[in-house]
Amino acid sequence: MLRNGTKQDLKLRSAEKSLAFYKFVMDSVPSGVITVDRDLKITGFNPWAERLIGYRSEEAIGHFCGEILRGGMCDTHCPLRTALSSQEPMSLVESTVQNKKGENENALPPIKADATQLRRVFTNLIDNAVKFSQRDGRIVVSTMHDKNEIRISVRDQGAGIAVEELPCIFDAFHRGKVGAKVEGFGLGLAAVKTIVEAHGGRVLVESGMGKGSTFTVILPRSSPHDTDPS
């Protein structure tokens, strides 16, 4: 039989091994990983987080996460509080953060939107740019914003779209002369238009045969469903 002291030693060693394994996994993940306690004070800060945010682990641990991350949603809808209060085992909440110098991992301001649907928009646009680009062609994604809206453009150096086809490229099942040679059902751009307009935005396209194409998604800074709290 094991004595109480021996049992406690075994439990302590087991806990130390678990902690060491947890730290090994956290430090090995090639993404910024930050852990917090129930009071939102930082308890873990891996090397990738140090690289992204600019703080050393010893500078960050013990501090309120908002002081270190200065997220774009901290003052309104704290993503971590949302995750902690969720009944789900995993929550996906997006926000922006700033590094130690006060610089923002994204220059665009945060907006209220369906992240999954907008991801579908830009996945479709970038997939199309890749499909229709020539070998060694270049694809450029650019952004800009003002006080009212944000703009995200995807420009390719592909075959382009005939001027007479531009009015109907967002119609479901429209393939066009160039699109007929590429796999797909012609639903991608129709979905892009539907999703963007559901967010109160619009999609512009500039193109010409042999000149490539530029699709620009324009989204309002505030949701059309937002109401004045007063």
Tell me, what's the pLDDT at 152? 94
State the average pLDDT over residues 170-189.
60
For the cut 80, the answer to whether the pLDDT of residue 120 exceeds it is yes
Residue 114 · residue 93 · CB < 8 Å: no
Report CA-CA distances (Å) from 19 to 24, 105, 130. Answer: 9, 30, 44
Tell me, what's the pLDDT at 178? 53
Summarised one tens digit per residue, pLDDT across range 32-72 is: 888 888 889 999 899 999 998 999 999 999 999 989 988 87
State the average pLDDT over residues 75-97.
74
Tell me, what's the pLDDT at 119? 92
Positive or negative: CA dihedral 141, 202, 168, 189: positive
Residues of the chain within CATH 3.30.565.10 domain(s) are 115-220
- pLDDT: which is higher, 129 or 93: 129
Beta strands in 131-226 (DSSP E): 140-145, 149-155, 202-207, 213-220
125 Cβ partners below 8 Å, 6+ apart? 154, 192, 215, 217
CA distance 214 to 112: 25
For the cut 60, the answer to whether the pLDDT of residue 160 exceeds it is yes
CA distance 180 to 130: 16
CA distance 54 to 34: 13
CA distance 131 to 182: 7
For the cut 90, the answer to whether the pLDDT of residue 153 exceeds it is yes
Residue 147 · residue 221 · CB < 8 Å: yes
Domain 31-85 has CATH 3.30.450.20: yes
Q: Under CATH, which architecture does the 115-220 domain have? A: 2-Layer Sandwich (3.30)
Tell me, what's the pLDDT at 185? 41
For the cut 90, the answer to whether the pLDDT of residue 163 exceeds it is no
CA distance 65 to 48: 16
What percent of the chain is predicted at pLDDT more than 90?
30
How many residues are present in the chain? 230
Question: What is the DSSP-derived secondary structure letter of residue 92?
Answer: -
For the cut 60, the answer to whether the pLDDT of residue 184 exceeds it is no
Residues of the chain within CATH 3.30.450.20 domain(s) are 31-85
- CA neighbor of 215 nearest in space, from 169, 175, 180, 148: 169
